[in-house]
Every structure is written in structure tokens, then in C-alpha cells.
Amino acid sequence: MTQTFREQGGAATMDPSPLRRWVTSRMLTQLLDPERERKLATEAEQERARSGDRHVVDYFHQLDDPYSLLAAQCIGPLLAHYDIDVRWHLVPGPSGANLPEPELLPALARSDAAAVAPFYDLLCPPLVAPDTALLQRAQRIFTATRDRLRVEAGEALSSAVLTGDAALLEDLARRHGEASAADAEALLQAGAARRKALHHYSGAMFHYGGIWYWGVDRLYHLEQRLQALKTQRRPLAGCLYPRSPLRNAPHRDNGSLTLEFYASLRSPYTALIFDTVVHWAQAVGVKLDLRPVLPMVMRGVAATRDKGVYIFSDAGREARALGVPLGSFYDPIGEPVRRCYSLLPLADAEGKRVELLGSFLQAAFVEGRNTLHKRVLRKVVERAGLSWREASAQLGKPGWEALLEANREAMYAFNCWGVPGFRLVDEDGSTLATAWGQDRLWLIAEVVQQTLSARDQSGSSTELPPPFPHSR
């Protein structure tokens, strides 16, 4: 993929006017503010109490989505432990600008769902690319299914579609019936319309009282909210689906493993996990290979407003859960990002790549400083332990673009197009694990511990034992 960076992003997109940069920054800062979510939750509960309605969670199920297969398995336990109703909506997958890499996402989702399922005590059989005819039949069967049976049918139908099991679909059709194609299409469109009205775009989504929760990974936020409202049917010690812990013990590496960390200077998810990645790698003895890439907008990957709103809102919530001071944001898109990346040769010569990018992210996402201003960039540079005099001579020079493009290509090679991305590499260069997202660092940490444990037991083998589930 040979394009100039200006061709990929477009000057107008990559370099907003000072006013537009300020307005965007203020809007996105508001999305990171915890008061916004608290206000939404309070207003929703007040309205529910006034109307006398039950606690109703809307769930948006996509039959060919591996994450929906996992999410559907969580609904039965949620209903058993919380005094809530779950309203199912059948939806198609994301499309257009909400699905920037349609060939990569399905493959990544299949491998990722299979990797994380055991840690949540969920089932995920070997998955295949869905067959269109099987998917359409599953949608007709789901449409015919009575509401009270959708907990069971939703999971089974997803499993049939994602494993290519035509015999299971036949059995489900005998048990539940099969609606017409027109009725199934109407149900799909109704689900899509409801999702759009609530300003989202994806499957495996839970919506309650004005706030979205993605898949099993975000159910702990929903559970904490339901527990605060005292909806438990019985006492619970924590959550059914807690956030996975990040392990750095009992085993410690001697530098034989390398973690490639693909990061961007405009990504809120990168900003919230950056220091954690650095500290975890140091604690566990893994070499850290920080590989910067251009922000998605700067390489021509579009995003809708609804997607941007959800990402920043979710990042703020995740940062608060981790105790990370993400909150005051000044958009570094365009020239500030290019200027910082132009300093990579200087930073690399001094062994300060991690310090430079970490300092820049702190300025943009924690301090809310306008990194377009040279005085702010000077602070970024000097805080990283670099000379501003030398940086001034290097600032804006080309020569960094090929490195970032090589990093992008390496990231795409394991079906990852967004950041943060991770690839864990053994000393012989073999890949032990890949993952996408700040909420997958724990999975990398588990593979590290399993790898080191297997080595200790065998003396040299890196064959991994089966992953173990969470303790409840």
C-alpha cells in the first residue's frame, strides 16, 4: 500500500483549523468526564423510578459475531442474579465507516473470542467464516423464537452459524420454527433502527439507562451499576464477569520474550494503557519494543461521530477503573503528531523513544496542553530527557515515515489495524500471542506466565498448557 500520508488522510482532516481543534478538544474532554456518565445514570434512574418501570437492559445480538456468542452466554447468569429484564434486538453487523477493515475484523474476532472465552468460563468452539445461507436461516429461526426462549436460542444459533453446523440449525428450526425472510429482515431493520436511535453501530452491545457496554469485557461496569441500584437477587462477592487482572507473577522473564507494542499519539486507549504496559514489561522482565503508527484518521481510516463518542466515553470509564488520570484532552491530530514523530531519530539515538511518546501522551491526554505550540512541545521533549536545542534542529525533518509504515504493515499482518496492538515474540522470533486493545494486555500477561511456567517445568519447552478460567 504505497500512498503519501497526505493522500491517505487528507489535509482538511489531518490539520484542523485552530478553532476546530479547540472545539473538538473541548467536546472530547467532556466525554472523558466522569460527571457526564454519572449524570446520564442519575437521570435515567429518576425517570425509571417515576414511571415505575422495571430495570430493562437492551441487548443487541449479531448472529455471525463471535463476541455476541460470548455475550449471549452471560445473559442467563445475569437474569438469575439480578432483578432485571433483558430485551433482545437482532441486528446486522457494522458497516461503512463503522467497519474500516471488513476483511480483518471477522478473523481477529474469531481468534480473540476463542482466546478470552475460557477466562470467563464461557464456551467458544472452533469458529469458521460464516456462510451467508446459514446466517440467513438462523435469522429466520431467531425471528420465530419466543422472547422467553431467546436466551437459549440466541447462543445456539450463533454457535451454529459460527461453526458451520447445518445439522444444529435444522434441529433448532424443528424446535423453534422458522419465520419468513421478509419477517426476519423486518426484525433486523427494527434492531438496527433502535441501535441507531441510541447512537451505536455494533453487535454484542448492552444498553442500560443511556449508557453502552460492549460484550463480556464491559459487563463489570454494568454489574457495578446494577449493584449500586441494589438489584441483586442474592448476595454477590464482586461481579460475575469481573475485569481480568493483570498478572506479573510468579514467573519473571530474563529478557527472552519481546512485547511489540503498537501505539498511536492520538489514541485514548493507547494513552490510558501506555504507562501500565511500560511498568508491566519492566516488572515481568519482558523486552518492550514500542512501535508507533500514525493515527487512523491520518492514514485514511474514517470514523463516524457515534463511534468517536463511544470510544472516548468508554476510554474515560476504563481509565477510571484503572486509576489512570486520563481526562483533560487537547487534540494532537495532524501537525503535532508529525512533529513529535519527526523527533524519533533523536529519541532513538538516546534510547528515549518510550519517554518521548509517553511525555507527549501525558501532555495531550492528561494535562490537556496544545501540543501544536512549540513551548508545549519543548516541555514534552525536556521531560523525556532530551535536548530542546537538538530537538529544534531535528523538528519537522522527514525520515520517520518509512518506520511508521513498516510498523503499520507489521500490525496488519496479524489482522490488527487499530491501536493499541500487541505481539508477543519468543527469542527465536516465533509469535506466541497477538492481541488488539488495551483490554487485552491481561491476556498477553497470561501467555507470558504460562510460557515461563512451561519452560520451568520442562527446562526449555514453550508449549503452553490449556488456559485456566477465572475463579469466581
Domain range list for the chain: 43-228, 258-457
What's the Cα-to-Cα distance from 189 to each of 89, 93, 183, rounded to whole Å? 10, 11, 10
Question: Of 298, 286, 271, which is closest to residue 408 (Cα–Cα)?
Answer: 298
Apex 230 CA angle, 225 and 231, nearest 5: 85
Instruction: Tell me the CB-side half-sphere exposure of residue 337, using CA atoms within 13 A.
Output: 24
- Dist CA 258 CA 466 (whole Å): 22
Structure confidence at residue 301 (pLDDT): 75
SS3 171: helix
Query: pTM value?
Result: 0.91
pLDDT of residue 201: 94
Report pLDDT for 382.
98
pLDDT at 304: 85
Cβ count near 211 (within 10 Å): 19
Q: What are the angstrom distances between the C-alpha of 102 and each of 95, 165, 296, 368, 415?
A: 8, 23, 15, 34, 11
CATH architecture of 43-228: 3-Layer(aba) Sandwich (3.40)
Would you say how long the chain is, in residues? 472
pLDDT of residue 459: 64
CA 202 to mean position of chain CA atoms: 12
On the question of a common fold for 43-228 and 258-457, the answer reads: yes
Q: Residues 59, 60, 61, 64: is their CA dihedral positive or negative?
A: negative
What is the reported pLDDT for 191?
98
β-pair partners for 289: 260
Please say whether the beta carbons of 69 and 124 come within 8 A. Answer: yes
Cβ burial 331-346 (10 Å sphere, 16+ → b, else e): bbbbebbbbbbbbbeb
pLDDT at position 99 is: 75
Query: What parts of the chain have a pLDDT lower than 50?
Result: 1-12, 460-472
Indicate the CATH number of 258-457 among 3.40.250.10, 3.40.30.10, 3.90.180.10, 3.30.1360.200.
3.40.30.10
**Helix or strand run (H / E) with residue 292:** strand 287-292
Encoded amino acid at 156, one letter? A
Closest CA relative to residue 169, chosen from 128, 134, 127: 134
